[in-house]
Chains A and B, each alone.
Chain A
Amino acid sequence: MNAEILRELRMAVMSYDAMKAEELVRRAVDEGLDPLACADVLTEAIREVGDKFEEGELFLPDLMAAASVLERATPILKREIERSGKKMRNLGRVVIGTVFGDIHSIGKTLVAALLTAAGFEVIDLGVNVKASEFIDAVKRYDPDILAMSALLTTTAPEQRKVIEALERENLRGKVKIMVGGGPITQEFAEDIGADGYAATAPEAVKLAEKLIGEKG
């Protein structure tokens, strides 16, 4: 019975059936199944979707859909885990936003969704986020990682501005910084002093995991 529920849960993610996933997770909780085991299945499933995306077998809508399934099912598991005195696997805290002057949100939202699905705690500041707002968020939330998105060449320089502002406030050493978006390149990321650059959303998750590892 247990193995079956876990198997069906994986299938629910792979077939993007958020309602089914929610139903299964509630059933699992009712039947006293280990919620952490369920959470692990969800994480593994979305990782599988991410891998298939990287291989060219699945596409962006599939990533988004899989992330939505987790968005629906995970809070139920989280409540149950905390209720039983345990802790949800939390890889780290990420503050994410699209920089000032830029209102593109799809890429940033996808990264946020996949990071959440992978087990990070994500605070999404939205779009058109001023440098001062990023600084305030770093002070307020004390994240492990600050992630910035920019989709226009005219707004890419904002990423540099934020890093410089963090340096001025002696906060640079407290966070790992990752950047992404259309005009962003590895070269640009190194030039502005970021800790990493990812070209795709699944790569961003792997990068975040690596940066957390570096933080130690």
Chain B
Amino acid sequence: MRKGFMRKIKPLEILTKEQVEAIHRGTLDILERTGVRFEDDRALKFLEDSGCHVDYKERRVRFPSHLVEESIRRCPSSFYVKARDPEDDMRIGGNTLYFMSFAGLRICDPYTGETRAPTLAENDEAVRISDALENLDCFPSYTPYFEIEGVEPPMLCPISTASRIRNSTKISRSAQIADAPIWDIKMAEVVGMQMLGNMEASPPLTYYEDATKAAFKFGEVGFPVYIASGGVMGGSAPATIVGSTISNNAEMLAAVVMLQLIRPGIGIVANDFVFPMNMRNGSPHFGSLGCSLHQMIFNQIWHGYYGIPTVNAAAGASNSKLVDYQNGYEKMFVALTAALSGANIIALHGGVTAELSYHPIQAILDDDIACLVGRTIEGVEVTPETMAIEVINEVGPIPGHFLDKEHTRRWWKKEHFMPKAADMLSYPEWLRKGRKKALEYAKDRMEEILKTHKPKPLSEDENREIDEILREAREYYKEREML
């Protein structure tokens, strides 16, 4: 099983208990009095039969508060997900922190920021590189790239899943769009793995058919589900951080109720994907103060108060178009506050510009960030060995020193962290060796990984079956005139 990072420090809480109660109370009120719109007739009927109040004319479901709270209680505080290789199994929740890859529409030149659609070969390569990264534990959907040259949109998800299954043994998330669950579930069955299901709301307070259809499918097959609702503060959510917390809570708890009714006890991991709106251009503002504070509150409520594992996906990209200083500080800032406040998964690796671009060099740089962040919440060991009292006494004052001590040799590597893709040279060495910067170390690492890393391959039969499923998917979309 993937180790992840074991939290040993108390999660940082920025709300008082009373504030958390006020937020939860507000959420229950919205769910009970305004409710959530469901476009899927089957979902409306299902929720009515399960005790919710349904207005068919408005397609509105109002949730009794006791049902919401029962559903929260039904969620396990952690759950197991089976990977293609047992070493990549995960147990999501509790005191563990994992890191997830991010994604981008297109591949970018990390120096110039120019984007273009990647080829399928580049997608496969990027997956292989992610498979090699120590601190990258799993993938979301349609990642690394969600536009691939020559691949028509409806086939993107199944082809992307196939690429991930073939080039990595790490766990992946399925997608809810355009019947993608059908193919993902089949492919997962071929190789004997589970995936994280996906159910996403359309804020404010709405679920379209894709989401609820997916919920039924994933519930049926017993995959745990990753829920999300990407509200944009000032657009599809209130402009205040706490206001957008409440509207987001309502959207997500509606999913929790539905999923727990479909399959009681199902594992759920809740993703915080709420951003302030960049009021210049209408886009979600990644790397922002708003994201950071929102996810801290979100973790305190969902992980701390509800006992439901959380993902924080805002650290996955920056607004910078380049792999540069702004990129580094935005992503580190958001990842660190996510970890300190109790996230169970942080989506981080590889995203360059907010959902627009991805690059494996970025993923390699982010792997160092992941280690810094993860090791921070692991804190320190305080033992007789680490306190080193005997050694301190032995060394005494100057001219004593610690460099030649066995204690130093035993502990320095374990205790500290040397990044794999950063400039660690002295100044004269740096001058001598060509003034290399972090990006170039990452590029070297990328080339090395591509030369040496071989993910566990599929068998011939498995490959053939996957190809067959892709063929079936293509026929399916053709019949529906989507291709």
- Point out residues on A near B: beta carbons under 8 Å: 56, 59-61, 103, 106-107, 110, 153-155, 157, 182-183, 199-200
Contacts and interface: CB of A to CB of B under 8 A. Distances in A.
Interface of B: 105, 146-147, 152-154, 156, 177-178, 202, 206, 208, 234-236, 277, 279-283
A154 B280 contact: no
B281 A61 contact: no
Contacts of B154: 154
B281 A200 contact: yes
A137 to B, nearest CB: 21
Contact of B153 (A61, A110, A157, A182): A157
Contacts of A200: 281
A110 B281 CA distance: 12
B208 A107 contact: no
A128 B153 CA distance: 16
Contact of A61 (B147, B206, B234): B234
Contacts of A103: 202, 206, 208
A153 B235 contact: no
Given A106-B236, A154-B153, A60 B279 contact: yes
B146 A182 contact: no
B153 A153 contact: yes
B282 A107 contact: yes
Contacts of B283: 182
Contacts of B236: 106
B147 A153 contact: yes
The prevalent SS among residues of A at the interface is: loop
B105 A59 contact: no
10 residue pairs, one from A and one from B, having the closest CB atoms = A59-B279, A154-B153, A60-B279, A106-B235, A153-B147, A103-B202, A153-B105, A107-B282, A60-B282, A157-B153
Contacts of B235: 106
Contact of B282 (A106, A153, A154): A106
A103 B37 CA distance: 14
B265 to A, nearest CB: 32
A126 to B, nearest CB: 14
Contacts of A155: 153
A157 B281 CA distance: 22
A60 B277 contact: yes
B284 to A, nearest CB: 10
A183 B117 CA distance: 12
Contacts of A199: 281
A153 B146 contact: yes
A108 to B, nearest CB: 11
A116 B239 CA distance: 26
Nearest to A199: B281
Nearest to B210: A101
A61 B280 contact: no
A60 B284 CA distance: 13
19 contacts: A59-B280, A60-B234, A60-B277, A60-B279, A60-B280, A60-B282, A61-B234, A103-B202, A106-B282, A153-B105, A153-B147, A154-B146, A154-B153, A154-B178, A157-B153, A182-B283, A183-B105, A199-B281, A200-B281
